[in-house]
Amino acid sequence: MTTPVVLFTADTRAFDGYTWHCAPSTYLEAVLDVSGGMPVILTAFGPRLDLDAVLDRVDGVVATGSRTNVHPSHYGVAATEAMGPYDEVRDATSLPLIRRAIERGIPLLCICRGLQELNVALGGSLASDIQDLPERMDHRHPDVPDMDGKFAIRHGVTIAAGGCLGRIVEGEIEVNSLHRQAVARLSDRLAVEATAPDGTIEAVSVKGAAGFTLGVQWHPEYWATTDGPSKAILEAFGAAIAAYAGGR
């Protein structure tokens, strides 16, 4: 069977006089090594892109995490500097990409910012700096210099039985946490798949989706080869993209 091709959202970064379109290697390697997909980064050119022409050629989509946040104008809130940084070029690409992948039944895995994009793309909203809200945990990464420390497994999440995620892992699992924004108003089209002890929505799926569609607020890609639940999520995505490729 031909190796499934997986499309990744791109951040834009200014460096050395150029604008770069890029994605973190941890996501790409997790899909390459655990999901069995061939990673390809989609340039963030927004409406200049013919998304259907691209999606005709791929078997899965991953919306990655990022240091940037979805611009609040996409969910009807006035933007402030504190809610940034933003990457509006990415927003203009990833939000319609997510909607079109769902419409076409293409397997979709949304991680961290990706989950937030999924909620916003389908009409939901976000809360910023949730660590300042009453009775909320601090979901930001630890202030440590090394990446393993930042991505350390930190708290439990309770998995909803019988859902997309519940068919992959059951009960309660331990996850990492590196976010300060979270779902505020959940899209009517999404179902809650997991919650943190403070009630924060940690995973979602699309109700009635034609294909595999899962969003997680944590980072299974970082420990995809060593942590059991993280590996199971990437393997489930791998099974979905393989099935989609086999049916094309």
- Kindly list the catalytic residues: 112, 219, 221
The SS3 call for residue 38 is strand
Contacts of 76 (CB under 8 A, 6+ apart): 125
Rounded Cα distance between 225 and 91, Å, is 30
Question: Which helix (H) or strand (E) covers residue 201, if one does?
Answer: strand 201-206
Q: For 173, which DSSP code?
A: E
Cα(247)–Cα(239) distance, integer angstroms: 12
Structure tokens at 206: 């699309």
Kindly tell me the burial class for residue 239, based on how many C-beta atoms sit within 10 Å of its own C-beta (0-12, 13-18, 19 or more).
middle
Give the residue among 212, 231, 213, 214 at the shortest CA–CA distance from 223: 231
**What region, left, alpha or beta, does residue 208 occupy, with left being phi > 0 and alpha being psi -120 to 50 degrees?**
left
Phi, psi at residue 43, to the nearest 5°?
-60, 145
> For 92-128, b where at least 16 C-beta lie within 10 A, e where not — what string?
bbbbebbebbbebebbbbbbbbbbbbbbbbbebbbbb
Among positive and negative, which fits the CA dihedral 14, 16, 19, 20? negative
